[in-house]
Structure 1
Amino acid sequence: MSTLDPEATAVVYLVASRTLDYPDPRLVSDLPLLRAALSTVPAAHRGELDALLDHLGSVPLVTLAADYVATFDLRRRCCLYLSYYAHGDTRKRGMALLAFKQTFRRGKVELLGNELPDHLCVVLEFAATAHLQQGRRLLLEHRAGLEMLRIALRDSGSPYALALTAVSQTLPPLAGDERDAVARLAAEGPPGEDVGIEPFAPPDLAGARP
């Protein structure tokens, strides 16, 4: 179980949400604010996000944007939509999206714009700013997909893996059934996919945090 208090956990989720979003001038201008917020988190729990902020602050914006698209838009196994890992593009995903929306409504949050409610950045921001307990519940319900995304980013050498590691470290260690679910997802891909998500290599569960 994470040793972070609720306030520090919320900061981790908020910084992870911002750093996993598409890089734009606003993100660059917000980097000092994100660093200041992260400074309130115990040092042992902020190393990954500190390193990611360093990366985002040292790479030209055009390069960051191109890398983001190549990572999250062109690699199906690096999908930021949590319900995709559990349900693929099947009808069950529609019900899963409805469940996300209902959770947000219970937290008195109505989504604006066209972003789907299962987008990881949306879930993390909800947990950080509206209802930490309900947001963590969504992360735990989709833990296999969260870990699969972390592993895929890590194995591709993406700096965005740092944000996933930081989030994963706020959650309990993987249980046996969850580890099995990650391995099964790696082997088979989401439901309804004939060829899986860019065939996954078997995950290194020894490194599948925590």
Structure 2
Amino acid sequence: MHQVASWCLSYPDAELTARLPLLRDALAERPRGPAVEALEPVVAHLLAGGPGTREREYVETFDLSRRHALHLSYWTDGDTRRRGEVLAGFVERYRRHGFRVDAGRELPDFLPLVLEYAALADPVDGAALLQEYRPSLELLRLALTDDASPYAGAVTAVCATLPGVSPPDRAAVHAMAAAGPPAETVGLDPYDPRLLPLEESR
């Protein structure tokens, strides 16, 4: 599921377009469950659109709106000095598990890259990393859902692979951040402004 979600949340270039029928068929062969049911409409939506439509929609959703940031540590650290240390931690973690990252490709906290790590390099540590950034994932899920984005299903599917039920609203996400992973991982009080719902930023 993590690899399919990674591709669904990646820029829809020609390579991804060629994979879409394979993604549809792979999901059809999987046992029914929340993750599969959330991903199927995303793949169907991508298949239904032409290349220009897919590319424009992706850019408008993720590149032109900080409200839908795909970089996990942006939700917890914003553009602060501390974020550089956090990004270095992602790279070190990848290296420990033999996962090579192209420095010119994307920042190491880019969600499709983290999902690829979870799918291909170390599923156990990858799932742990996603759980550490569960509040980021849930805020992204809520923002995409509020905006009726077809991409919401991909993030919903990722959350469905993790322990526990997704929180229903932002207040519950803040409570999750306060009670969840160790402070040195998330480092947030319940209403720390660095946990960015980015309500006003579009």
TM-score range, shorter chain: 0.7 to 0.9
| Residue 17 in structure 1 maps to residue 6 in structure 2 | yes
Instruction: Supply the distance in 1 between the matched residues of 2:83 and 2:142 (Cα, whole angstroms).
Output: 22
1:52 equivalent in alignment to 2:47 = no
Equivalent position of 1:83 in the other structure: 73
Q: Percent identity?
A: 42
Q: CA deviation at 1:104?
A: 0.6
Deviation at 1:172, TM superposition (A): 1.4
Q: Counterparts of 1:198 and 1:76 in 2: how far apart (Å)?
A: 9
Q: Which moved more, 1:136-145 or 1:153-162?
A: 136-145
> Partner residue of 1:124?
115
Q: TM-score when scaled to structure 2?
A: 0.83
2:87 pairs, out of 72, 84, 97, with 97
Determine if contact 1:127/1:133 at 8 Å carries over to the other structure: yes
TM-aligned CA deviation for residue 185 of structure 1: 9.7
Counterpart selection for 1:73 from 63, 74, 77: 63
Gaps of 5+ in 1: 1-11, 201-210
Q: Distance in 2 between matches of 1:132 and 1:165?
A: 18
AA aligned to 2:160 is Q
Quick check: 1:42 aligned with 2:37? no
Task: Judge conservation of contact 1:48–1:165 (CA < 8 Å) in 2.
Answer: yes
1:190 to 188, 191, 194: 194
Give 2:16's aligned residue: 27
Give the root-mean-square deviation of aligned CA atoms.
2.6
Which SS does the other structure have where 1:35 is aligned? helix
Q: Point out 4+ residue stretches in structure 1 off by more than 6 angstroms.
A: 182-188
SS in 2 for 1:77: helix
Shift in Å, 1:110: 1.4
